[in-house]
Amino acid sequence: MHMNKSQGPTTVDIDYKSILTILYNILKYIKAFGALDEGERPCSFSIS
């Protein structure tokens, strides 16, 4: 019973970290996608 109670908050902590990691990966993916989109138009970059 004590172990079960101890696992509760630990699982929540792991889930919280996993959610943060997933959000971070999504942001990274969006940034990478945006960079690819920008790189697809070298003319625009050259004018700037």
Q: Around Cβ 16, how many Cβ atoms within 10 Å?
A: 10
Provide the pLDDT for residue 27: 93
Residue 22 in domain: yes
Who has greater pLDDT, 1 or 34?
34
The domain tally of the chain equals 1
Residue 10 in domain: no
| In contact, 45 and 38? CB cutoff 8 Å | yes
Residue 11 in domain: no
pLDDT per position as a tens digit, 5-43: 556 666 667 788 899 999 999 999 988 888 766 666 555
The C-alpha atoms of residue 33 and residue 15 are separated, in whole angstroms, by: 27
Provide the pLDDT for residue 35: 72
Residue 8 in domain: no
Residue 27 in domain: yes
Over 60: is that where the pLDDT of 1 sits?
Answer: no
Provide the pLDDT for residue 45: 52
